[in-house]
Every structure is written in structure tokens, then in C-alpha cells.
Amino acid sequence: MGHLSNWIGIDDHADKLTIAQYVGTQKEPAKEWEVVPNESGLRQLVRWLKNLQGAVRCVYEAGPCGYELYRLLTSSGIECSVAAPSLTPRKPGERIKTNRRDARKLAELLRGNLLTMIVVPDRRRESIRDLMRARDDARRNLVAARHRLSKFLLRHGFRYREGSAWSTRHWQWIRSIKMPEPYEQIILTESIAAVVQRQLELKRFDDFVSEAAKEVEYAPLVKQLTALRGIDTLSAMTILAELGDLRRFPSAPQMMAAVGLVPSEYSTGDKTRRFGITKTGNAHVRHVAVQAAWQYQHSPRSGSRLQKRRSDQAAEVLRIAQTADHRLHRKYVRLTSRGKRSTVAATAVARELVGFIWAIGQCTAPAK
């Protein structure tokens, strides 16, 4: 762009927006100011941006304030991008962080084309993503409530040894317990009620997700993804809600990188050292992939549920899923037989599983 290009860095916070404007190749900002992100303040920001001479490009980092600023600016005809904060370059030794410095740095990095931008979801996909994250929060709440109840009973000498935890028989055993002290009985009663409430909450979210998975923009790809071992409807919906159109990734390795499942590396001269996975990417999809990867420690035999999910799949999808069965199982066995920890092997399998998810994503029109 020419010397009249305006590079706008915005530090986005709930209480104020800090803005830095660079014009062309100027070393110092042409203007720095702050605005309260209420209706009048945002209107003032849009009016100022529209009155600037030359091309205007804005950027801010993704954060807790969401994408409303992006949607406001783009709907007003102003070019705006949202940067991935985990991939923003940081200077070694930099210890001073202020809103003003952050706004300046974003504008300078935008001008140098050094930022990695995220794909902003439309409102529909964002609502599905929020549903999946709320469902995961409900699952965590249930786990925490169960943990509190079981540890309370353990502290008072009650241990269940007759079967699986949280089964029907386990619940019958819990409800039969009578605590010797009245306050202890109150705690037990309330803890049981909390677990039951969390179970009902999770069940409601599961029903909502099941309904969403039947919608026309999700149903075809959800069905195909569940042909993979370890990927059920909930996992498939998490993948689609978090990543959107799987075809936007030009290759499987790029999708692996977006999920944070590629190994970190340090190279200097003739020496190359590799470390654990970067974990720089979508943590929700990474969790789903790692959990699914554990299924591949077993020999590639299809149970009745998996056979049912694969019964009417397209030939190409079935070929990909069966290839994944054998290849990923061999990888897990090979790594563990060489002395690798099972967690390391599962992570390596998860990385390749993402590649198979990417391959299936190329077979049909994905979610919008």
C-alpha cells in the first residue's frame, strides 16, 4: 500500500479501547487516543475511521470481548482483522506491557504483515460453538460435584468396592448412607442434590447438541466424522463448531498446527532439537482428538456401535476410517513397544487422527 495507508492497532478491553494510528511508513504514531466502547464511543470511532484519508486497515487481538467490534467495523465498510494472541510475535526480554504499547505493537506488526489472523465465525457458528463450550462446562461441573461427594464420603470412612462408580448400584449405596451427625447428613443430602442437578443440566445440553447435529449444515459431516473410531456426535460437533469449514485448511499438517498438535522445535546450525507439542491452537479440538486417540490402543475390530455408524457411509469415507483403524493402532503399538509413555503415544496418534479428520472434511460440504 502507498504512503497514505492507515494502520490502526486497537487494544480491546471492556472499559476502553486504546487506539494507535500509523500512516504509511511513519516510525511514530500519527495519533493515539482512547474511547469508551459504548454506543456513542463506537459511533465516534467509526466516524473517525471513515474520515481518514487513504486505505484503512484495523486489527485487534482475539479476547474475552469477542467479535462484536470486528462485526461493527466490517458492517460499516471498514477493513478489520482479528489476530491470534498466542501467535503474536513477542520480543525476548520485553517486560513492560501497557494498553498503549499493545496498540502500537499491533499496528506495527499489521503493517509488517507479521500477524496471524483468525477466521471469525459468523453468528450462527459462534452460537453453536458457545453451546458446545457450555456443554463442556456442564461436564466439568458434574465431575467436580461428584468429586466433592465421593471425597466427603471417603473422609468419613465410606468406600464403595462393589462395582463401577456412579452406576445404579453405586447410587443405591450412596442413598442408603446415614451420617451420625445432623450437619453431616445435611452436607450429604445437599451434595447428592448437587450431583443430580448437574446430571440433569448435562442431559439438557446433550439434547440441545443432538438437535443441532441434525441441522442441514451439520448433519452430513457429523455423520461422516463419526465413522472414525472415538469420534461420536459430541466430538464431531465440537470439531465443526470450533474449526468451521475444514476445507479452509490447505493441508492436513496445517490443520494439525491449528489444533496445536505439532511438535515444537529448536534448530541452530546443524543441530535440531524437538520437544513436546506446541499446544498453540484450539484446545477444545485438541482435547477431543487426544481423547479419541486412546481408542486406537485396541486392535482394529469394529464393535456393534461402530458398525452401525459405518453401515451406510460413502465408500471413500469408509476407506479413510478403516485406514485410520490400522495405521493409528500400529503407531500406538510401535511407540509404546519402543518405551514411549502411553500419553506420548496417544498424543502422537491424535496428531495423525486430525489428519484423517481433515481428509474426511474434504469429502462433503462442511458447516458454514
Q: Which residues is 265 bridged to in the sheet?
A: 274
Q: Is it the case that residue 196 has pLDDT exceeding 60?
A: yes
Strands 56-61 and 79-83: parallel
202/235 same-domain check: no
Secondary-structure breakdown of the chain: helix, strand, coil percentages, each rounded to the nearest 5: 55, 10, 35
Q: Report, as an integer, the average pLDDT of 270-284.
A: 68
Q: Report, as an integer, the average pLDDT of 153-182.
A: 95
Strands 271-277 and 263-268: antiparallel
pLDDT confidence bin for 367, thresholds 50/70/90: very low
pLDDT confidence bin for 302, thresholds 50/70/90: confident
The answer to whether the beta carbons of residues 20 and 111 sit under 8 Å apart is no
Determine what percent of the chain is predicted with pLDDT higher than 70: 93
Print the domain residue range for 334.
219-361
Q: Which residues is 6 bridged to in the sheet?
A: 23, 56
The reply to whether 118 falls in a domain is no
The reply to whether 1 falls in a domain is no
The answer to whether the beta carbons of residues 349 and 213 sit under 8 Å apart is no
Q: Is it the case that residue 224 has pLDDT exceeding 70?
A: yes
Give this prediction's pTM: 0.85
Q: Report, as an integer, the average pLDDT of 92-120.
A: 90
Q: Which of residues 111, 138, 161 is at a domain's end?
A: 111
The answer to whether the beta carbons of residues 235 and 229 sit under 8 Å apart is no
pLDDT of 33 reads: 96
Q: Is it the case that residue 368 has pLDDT exceeding 50?
A: no
pLDDT of 303 reads: 86
Q: Which three cell numbers stand for residue 29?
A: 504514531
Strands 56-61 and 6-12: parallel
3-state class (DSSP) for residue 276: strand
142/162 same-domain check: yes
Q: Is it the case that residue 60 has pLDDT exceeding 90?
A: yes
pLDDT of 277 reads: 64
Q: Which of residues 89, 111, 133 is at a domain's end?
A: 111
Strands 56-61 and 271-277: unpaired
What does the DSSP 8-state code read for residue 47? Answer: H
231/332 same-domain check: yes
84-88 own/partner pairs: CB under 8 Å, 24+ apart: 84/115, 84/116, 84/117, 84/118, 85/61, 86/280, 86/281, 87/115, 87/116, 87/280, 88/61, 88/115, 88/116
The reply to whether 253 falls in a domain is yes
Strands 271-277 and 31-35: unpaired
- pLDDT per residue over 320-364, tens digit each? 999 999 999 999 999 999 999 999 999 999 999 999 999 999 986
CATH code for position 33 = 3.30.420.40
Residue 121's region, left for phi above 0, alpha for psi from -120 to 50, else beta, is beta
Q: Report, as an integer, the average pLDDT of 235-254.
A: 93
- pLDDT per residue over 38-52, tens digit each? 999 999 999 999 999
pLDDT of 278 reads: 65
208/225 same-domain check: no
Q: Tell me how far apart the alpha carbons of residues 70 and 23 are, in angstroms, rounded to a whole number.
A: 21
pLDDT of 366 reads: 44
Kindly tell me the sign of the dihedral angle through the C-alpha atoms of 202, 205, 210, 213.
Answer: negative
Q: What are phi and psi of 7, to 5 degrees?
A: -110, 115
Cβ-count burial of 81 within 10 angstroms (0-12 exposed, 13-18 middle, 19+ buried)?
middle
260/203 same-domain check: no
Residue type, 283: A
Residues in the chain: 368
Q: Which residue has the cell 476502553?
A: 16
Tally of domains in the chain? 3
pLDDT of 269 reads: 54
